[in-house]
Amino acid sequence: MTVLRTDRLLLRGWRDSDLGPWAALNADPDVREHFPDVLTREQSEASAARFRADLDRRGWGWWAVEVRATGEFIGFAGLDPVEESVPFTGVEAGWRLARPAWGHGYATEAAMAVVTFGFETLALPEILAITTAANHRSRAVMRRLGMTHDPGEDFDDMSVPAGPLRRTVVYRLANGNRPAV
């Protein structure tokens, strides 16, 4: 499995010790503001098991994110093929951090690492990112990555209950168009 390092972060495989903080992160209504529900501990553990399996099988996917200076688990970041319910194909970059880790530039730093890996190691022609229209923090990360938004590609995610979380925006970044690190 690949491990990614940045100046401040380590993107690595999942450990059993990550499960408690991961469950707490997913139970936080602020962190899950742009999702239909918070997750139970069982749902969080099941997602971590899927992430581990994907990393073991492919060598890439949703990595656990750790602050190198302290060893603290702060969330996840990575790449994954878009879900079948989405009206297009491709590989998506994503991130989710615990509330205390917000505002330090960690999401952008981790996302830049996974985008670099996707382009330089996997030779992906393009990477995209998807979020709810109202998720301005994630959309800001997407713009910092150099991704562009075409409103014509936005769609309603029918797997989400009717309401403000259904409208989904798509950002794209072509290999060769990313900003210098």
Residue 115 to residue 134: CA distance in whole angstroms: 23
CB distance 11 to 65 below 8 Å: yes
Mean pLDDT across the chain, nearest whole number? Answer: 93
Residue 121 has pLDDT above 90, yes or no: yes
* Interval 34-66: pLDDT, tens: 988 999 999 999 999 999 999 999 999 999 999
Residue 25 to residue 121: CA distance in whole angstroms: 30
Backbone angles phi, psi at 29, to 5 degrees: -60, -30
pTM score of the predicted model? 0.92
* Interval 125-139: pLDDT, tens: 999 999 999 999 999
pLDDT at 86: 82
pLDDT at 170: 95
One-letter amino acid at 98 equals: A
Place 178 in a pLDDT band, splitting at 50, 70 and 90: low
Residue 164 has pLDDT above 90, yes or no: no
Backbone angles phi, psi at 77, to 5 degrees: -155, 155
**More reliable by pLDDT, 181 or 138:** 138
